[in-house]
């Protein structure tokens, strides 16, 4: 369990590699208010190729990274880093989810899906607390504010959208070629031709 101030290089070839490298640690990129969910997002955006201070938000509200700046936060320098996911049913493990604000939290929240939503929902049909990997919600408290990275449930009713890192998008399996079977008795026909 370590707290990092400023940006650090973190392994991220897969979601599991990112998760294992960050779980239990704290990230305070901007030195303001301790370990906040935006700091954790910014650490990831910088690690995948964006400049510092991404994802862009306004008024310290992470929900604006989706409501106002989703395209700016998905493409940089002509490269598309993220696919935008608009349906909770399409959320896959490793997607970065953005949640809207509400009365107790006017800033919203953000974190990485720790499971595929469809599989989780099938096993938990009445729950709204979908597991995400994030900062500032239930982890080890940071004395400067917020909390370290942990996996916790967050209310699916607040879902706005998600960013899917293209390098983590699985390649679909190849379409199997169709094997055609003929019902014509070629062997019998060939024998008949030979016996002429």
Q: What are the φ/ψ torsions at residue 168 (nearest 5 degrees)?
A: -100, -5
Positions in the chain short of pLDDT 50? 179
Q: What residues form DSSP beta bridges with 82?
A: 165
Task: Supply the pTM of this predicted model.
Answer: 0.85
The C-alpha atoms of residue 71 and residue 75 are separated, in whole angstroms, by: 6
Per-residue confidence (pLDDT) for residue 59, from 0 to 100: 84
Counts for the chain of helices (H) and strands (E), in that order: 5, 10
Cα–Cα distances (Å) from 56 to 21, 91, 126, in that order, read 24, 22, 34
Per-residue confidence (pLDDT) for residue 173, from 0 to 100: 54
Fold entry, domain 3-171: endopeptidase fold (from Nostoc punctiforme) (3.90.1720)
Query: Do 47 and 9 touch, CB atoms closer than 8 A?
Result: yes
Per-residue confidence (pLDDT) for residue 170, from 0 to 100: 63
Per-residue confidence (pLDDT) for residue 139, from 0 to 100: 92
- pLDDT, one tens digit per residue, over 135-166 is 999 899 999 999 999 999 999 999 999 999 99
Cα–Cα distances (Å) from 50 to 53, 75, 92, 96, in that order, read 9, 9, 22, 15
């Amino acid at each position: 369990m370590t707290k990092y101030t400023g940006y650090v290089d973190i392994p991220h070839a897969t979601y599991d590699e990112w998760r294992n490298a960050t779980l239990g640690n704290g990230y305070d990129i901007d030195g303001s208010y301790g370990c906040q969910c935006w700091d954790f997002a910014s650490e990831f955006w910088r690690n995948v190729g964006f400049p510092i201070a991404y994802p862009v938000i306004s008024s310290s509200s992470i929900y604006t990274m989706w409501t106002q700046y989703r395209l700016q936060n998905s493409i940089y320098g002509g490269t598309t880093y993220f696919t935008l996911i608009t349906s909770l049913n399409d959320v896959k493990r490793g997607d970065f989810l953005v949640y809207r604000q509400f009365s107790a939290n006017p800033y919203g929240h953000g974190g990485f899906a720790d499971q595929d939503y469809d599989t989780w929902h099938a096993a938990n049909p009445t729950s709204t607390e979908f597991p995400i990997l994030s900062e500032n919600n239930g982890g080890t408290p940071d004395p400067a504010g917020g909390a370290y990275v942990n996996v916790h449930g967050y209310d699916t009713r607040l879902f706005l959208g998600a960013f899917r890192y293209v390098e983590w998008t699985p390649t679909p399996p190849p379409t199997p070629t169709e094997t055609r079977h003929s019902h014509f008795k070629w062997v019998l026909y060939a024998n008949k031709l030979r016996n002429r």
